[in-house]
């Protein structure tokens, strides 16, 4: 229960910073995907950027909020990667 309270406090008071260069890279890549008609690829790229910004770029924020608990970070990484893999499999299926 203590972990849930820490997480709720963290997300209610969190400030995430994302570099403008990375946002512009996301916009350019997604614009190219949409222009070329690769909508599913654009969705996957957006998801990967969100996972990157949440896990890799803001990892230090999570560690300071949760202490030295690695369990939450491993769960976040596992769920992020597994969701991306499920999306890739779903996108590759022919309808």
Q: Look at the pTM and tell me if it is higher than 0.85.
A: no
| pLDDT, tens only, 10-26 | 667 766 677 889 889 99
Kindly state the tokens that stand for 70: 């690695």
pLDDT of residue 11: 65
Question: How far is 87 from 70, CA to CA, in rounded Å?
Answer: 26
What gap in Å lies between CA 16 and CA 74, rounded to an integer? 20
In order, the DSSP letters of 50-67 are: HHIIIIIITHHHHHHHH-
């Amino acid at each position: 229960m203590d972990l849930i309270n820490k997480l709720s406090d963290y997300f209610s008071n969190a400030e995430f910073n994302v570099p403008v260069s990375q946002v512009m890279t996301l916009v350019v890549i997604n614009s190219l995907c949409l222009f070329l008609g690769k909508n599913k690829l654009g969705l996957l790229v957006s998801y990967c950027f969100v996972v990157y910004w949440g896990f890799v770029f803001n990892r230090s924020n999570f560690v300071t909020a949760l202490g030295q608990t690695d369990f939450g970070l491993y769960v976040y990484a596992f769920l992020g990667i597994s969701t991306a893999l499920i999306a890739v499999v779903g996108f590759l299926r022919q309808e």
